[in-house]
Structure 1
Amino acid sequence: MSALTQGTHHIGLTVSMLEESTAFFTQILGWKEVFRKPSYPAVFVSDGSIMLTLWQVKSNHRMEFDRRSNVGLHHLALGVANEETLQQIHQKIADSGLRIEFPPEDVGDGPSKHMMCYEPSGIRVEFLCKGN
């Protein structure tokens, strides 16, 4: 049986810091703000391939990440073109003062590399480039 779906249309993330999370994607990663809905409030951002809807949470009840206890988003993994771009992202995030879980490193025995950080609202974001 073939899949009944055709890729990702968009992913909705609930964030506690709407403007700061928007800036993470637009200012650090170079995404475009597609639409803003102040009454919701929400901001839609895109890198040209994927769209994220960033929804402002009403109360800031945050649960620390625990992959063995919490149901929900484990992390958002974004592909990057090459190791040079991965290093550039790492530097921009480091310069911003955001928390980096681990810097660029091999995935297993390589040759792919990845890094993990937290965007301003605390969502784990992984960046991954395939090896040659």
Structure 2
Amino acid sequence: MSVTTGVHHIGLAVSNLEESAEFFTKLLGWEEVKRREDYPAIFVKDDALMITLWKTQADEPTKFDRKMNVGLHHLALRVKSKEVLFQILDVLKANNIEIEFEPTFIREGPSMHMMCYDPSGIRIEFHYSE
């Protein structure tokens, strides 16, 4: 029997704090919950999840290599419909967000997903399933 009940929040270390926060708030429609100037950090949330974006202190932070490092491989966010998945693709393209791959079927479908990078280089997956 599990002693936990789900995710309270996810903390991500980011190199571009404001840009990463805008990725979630301006592009995805999330809400900014609060800021901590002393760390610094920005907290953002959608209807189900809160993410804490913590500013790294390094002048030139080391980018995560999903094949070489232990850590967050990617963050997978559920979307409500296939149409929303393609709307997100359009928003990402219009804002010059790096896209690893556009919407594609998972195995034979009907589930679909796509992968992009937030402004700090964190891999973000958008996942739709019927």
Q: Shorter-chain TM-score: what band?
A: over 0.9
TM-score (structure 1 length as normaliser):
0.95
Structure 2: any 5+ residue segments left out of the alignment?
none
Mapped contact 2:45–2:51 kept (Cα < 8 A): yes
Amino acid in structure 2 at the alignment position of 1:63? K
What's the offset of the Cα at 1:48?
2.1
Match of 1:66 in 2: 66
Q: Per-residue displacement from partner, 1:68-123 (whole Å, max 9, x unpaired)? A: x2100000000001100000111100110010000001011111000000000000
The answer as to 2:82 corresponding to 1:83 is: yes
CA-atom RMSD, angstroms? 0.9
Match of 1:13 in 2: 12
Q: Per-residue displacement from partner, 1:1-25 (whole Å, max 9, x unpaired)? A: x211001000000000000000000
SS at match of 1:36: strand
SS at match of 1:85: helix
Identity %: 50
TM-score (structure 2 length as normaliser):
0.96
Q: Per-residue displacement from partner, 1:39-92 (whole Å, max 9, x unpaired)? A: 11000000021000000000132235233x210000000000110000011110
Match of 1:32 in 2: 31
